[in-house]
Amino acid sequence: MEMNRRTVLAGMVAGSGLLLGGCSENPPTYGNVLRMGDWFTYNAQRVLIPRRALAREYGRGDITSTVAVGTVNPGNDHEPAFNPAAGPLWARLAANDFREWALEVVGAVARPGRFSLDALMRFKARTQITRHTCEEGWSAISEWTGVPLRAVLEHAGIKPSARFVKFETFDAQQDSIDMFDVLHPQTILAYGMNGARLPHGHGAPLRVRVETQLGYKSMKFLRRIVVTDHFDDGGKFGNIASGYSWFAGI
């Protein structure tokens, strides 16, 4: 029996279970072009991307001073993105050096749970010196130390159907990235900066570094990570609602 190419491809896709059926929930911000990453589940990415292009890494001598911008103190109710539901809690946790803080990991994972700073520091650490590029036109080079997001999610048992990861913070900003960036080796949950603990203004106790995209994707003050199999950028807390592009690749 002969099958045309289309049928064969359709059969392969169906058989492999790599792609999700519906395409109604894709990020709306590419115009007509969809980024391949949006279509692929965790299962597909794991197979497809053994080699990834890395963002440039620098030497210690290249480190510059980095200003803290956006929210610098989630506990301050005068901050533009102050979140009354979480800001005061951040202030209490900060006062005790984040000993009672834990990152919640929920959604499409087999073992939802909480990771204390100590628990995150027990994972194999990655240190990288990279350039942060803000959409407002400045950039700065810093050293970041943390745990690859991939390692934490695999520890939590990320489900094969997972397609996006959403970051919830202690201020009124949320954001999400697709599996392409979730599994990128330089996408780390950073607790260290320039050889010291992550300073408050730069997102203590934990921020994500998304080195493949503009600085505003690197959410500071992480509280909760939600693994999803559908697109969710945080709605009214997300970038699209505030007029930014969801995808900001560099």
**In the complex, residue closest to Mo ion by CB:** 134
Query: Shortest distance, CB of residue 167 to ligand MTE, whole angstroms?
Result: 8
Site string for ligand MTE, 204-223 (x = CB under 6 A): -----------xx-xxxx--
Q: Residue 61 carries which side chain, given as an amino acid letter?
A: G
- Residue 63 binds to Mo ion (criterion: CB under 5 A): no
Binding mask 109-138 for Mo ion (x = CB under 5 A): -------------------------x----
x/- track of binding to Mo ion for residues 203-222 (CB under 5 A): ------------xx------
Cβ proximity to ligand MTE, 79 vs 154, nearer residue: 79
Is the distance from CB of 207 to CB of 190 less than 8 angstroms?
Answer: yes
Is 146 within 8 Å of 212 (Cβ atoms)? no
Q: Is 140 strand, coil or helix? A: strand
Classify residue 119 by burial, with Cβ atoms within 10 Å: 0-12, 13-18, 19+: middle
CA separation for the pair 26, 17 (Å, rounded): 18
90: its two tokens: 């951040």
How many other C-beta atoms are found inside a 10 Å radius of the C-beta of residue 166? 22
Q: What's the one-letter identity of residue 9? A: L
CB of 222 to ligand MTE, least distance (A): 8
Q: Which of 49, 125, 134, 240 is close enough to bind ligand MTE by CB under 6 A?
A: 134
The region of 56-64, 93-101, 112-120, 165-173 touching ligand MTE under the rule CB under 6 A is 165-173
For 224, phi and psi rounded to 5 degrees? -150, 140
Residues lying near ligand MTE in the complex (CB under 6 A): 66-71, 81, 134, 169, 171, 173, 201-202, 215-216, 218-221
